[in-house]
Amino acid sequence: MRVRHIALSLVAVLVFAACGSDDETTPKADSTTTSNAAETSMDHDMDDMDHDMDDMDHGEHGGEGTGVAKPLPVLADGTLDPAGIDLSGVESVTPEQQAYAEDLVVRSLKGLPTWADYDKAIADGFKSIGDGPFTGEEHVIQYGWVEDDKILDPSAPESLVYRYEAQPDGSVVRTLEAAMYILPSSYTLDTAPDDGGALMQYHNHQNLCFTTGESPRVAGLTDANGKCPANLALGAGNIQIHVWIRANKCGPFAALSGVAGGQTADGTVTCLSDHGSEGH
C-alpha cells in the first residue's frame, strides 16, 4: 500500500496543480468512492491550486529559459517529431547530458504509443487515480513497476498521462500525452540521477491525500499541519519526472501540461520554454 500511495501522490499532485494549465488528463476511476465532504474539500483545494498555477504560468515563480529559441517540431498527429529533438542551448548542460535527455524523449516517443489505447493500458494493469473529470488530465499507474529495477524505461513506464475530454454524448476521449516515470523509493531529490543535467528536473509531491483500499483515489490536500482528514491517507512521494510526447509549452520534461511544478531540492521549478511547443 505504501507504493500505491507513493505513486498516486505523485500523479495526483500533478493533476491538481495542472488546474491552472492549458491541458490535463486522467484515467478511469476505480470502485472506491469519495465522500461528498471529501469532494467538496477537493474542489476548494483545486481552486487554491488553480490560482497558484495561474501565477506560475505568468512567470511569478521563476523559470529557466535557454536564450536559444528552438521549439521542438510537432507532427500532424500532435506528437513531437523524433527526428527533430534538439535540446541544445541550456546553460551548464554537457553534451553527454543533452544526448541522454534527447535519447529519453526519442525512446519515449517510440515506446509509449504501445498504450495509445487507454483500454489497453487498463487491461495491462494500469490503475486510474480518478483525476480526469476534475483536471482534464488522467493519470494511470502500474503499481507493480514502481519499485522494480527499471527506471526511465518506456517499455515499463510506472505511470501514463492521458488528456481527458468529456463529450456531449457522455463518452470520454482519452489521448496519450506523457509518461510519468516514478523512481523507486531508494531515490530522493538529493540522489536523483544527473544524466540529463538541468534539462531533467526531478520533483515530488508530499501534500496529497488519498482514499484507502485497493484503488486509492486522490481526494484532497494536507492542511497547514501537513495532516489529511481522518478518512484519507497521506501519500508518500517518490521522486518523478514527466516526459511529454505531445507539445508542451514548458518543454518535454515539464512537470505539468503547460507549467512546471512540484517540490524540488532547492525549491525552484523550471520551464524550458525555449524548447517548448504549442499544442492543442
Residue 19: strand, helix, or coil: helix
pLDDT at 254: 87
Average pLDDT over residues 180-196: 94
C-alpha radius of gyration, the chain, whole number: 17
pLDDT of residue 200 exceeding 70: yes
Average pLDDT over residues 183-193: 94
pTM for the model = 0.75
pLDDT at 135: 82
Helix pair 2-17, 36-57: axis angle to 10 deg? 50
pLDDT at 262: 60
Percent with pLDDT over 70 in the chain: 71
pLDDT band at 38 (very low <50, low <70, confident <90, very high): very low
Identify whether the C-beta of residue 280 lies closer than 8 Å to the C-beta of residue 74. Answer: no
- 227/68: higher pLDDT: 227
pLDDT band at 263 (very low <50, low <70, confident <90, very high): low
**Domain ranges in the chain?**
2-275
- 206/4: higher pLDDT: 206
pLDDT band at 23 (very low <50, low <70, confident <90, very high): very low
C-alpha cell at 224: 497547514
C-alpha distances out from residue 210 to 40, 62, 144, 159, 163, Å: 14, 30, 18, 17, 21
pLDDT of residue 271 exceeding 70: yes
pLDDT of residue 138 exceeding 70: yes
Separation of alpha carbons 251 and 276, rounded Å: 4
Give residues with Cβ within 8 angstroms of 65, minimum separation 6: 271, 272, 273, 274
pLDDT of residue 6 exceeding 50: no
pLDDT band at 279 (very low <50, low <70, confident <90, very high): low
Identify whether the C-beta of residue 6 lies closer than 8 Å to the C-beta of residue 236. Answer: yes
pLDDT band at 208 (very low <50, low <70, confident <90, very high): confident
In this structure, what is the dihedral angle of CA atoms 116, 82, 136, 242, given to the nearest 10 degrees? 100
C-alpha distances out from residue 137 to 11, 25, 26, 163, Å: 10, 1, 4, 5
Please list, residue by residue across 221-243, b when 16 or more beta carbons sit within 10 angstroms of its beta carbon and e when fewer do. bbeeeeebeeebbbbbbbbbbbb
C-alpha cell at 220: 484532497
pLDDT at 218: 80
Separation of alpha carbons 84 and 77, rounded Å: 15
Give me the residue label for grid cell 531508494.
186
pLDDT of residue 18 exceeding 70: no
Mean per-residue pLDDT of the chain = 78
Average pLDDT over residues 149-157: 97
pLDDT of residue 217 exceeding 60: yes
pLDDT at 278: 76
The residue length of the chain stands at 280
pLDDT at 151: 96
Average pLDDT over residues 165-178: 97
Separation of alpha carbons 139 and 217, rounded Å: 11
C-alpha cell at 185: 523509493
Identify whether the C-beta of residue 52 lies closer than 8 Å to the C-beta of residue 257. Answer: no
Residue 271 DSSP label: -
pLDDT at 11: 41
pLDDT of residue 244 exceeding 80: yes
Return the minimum-mean-pLDDT range out of 16-30, 61-75, 150-164.
Answer: 16-30
Q: Which amino acid is at 104?
A: L
Average pLDDT over residues 145-159: 96
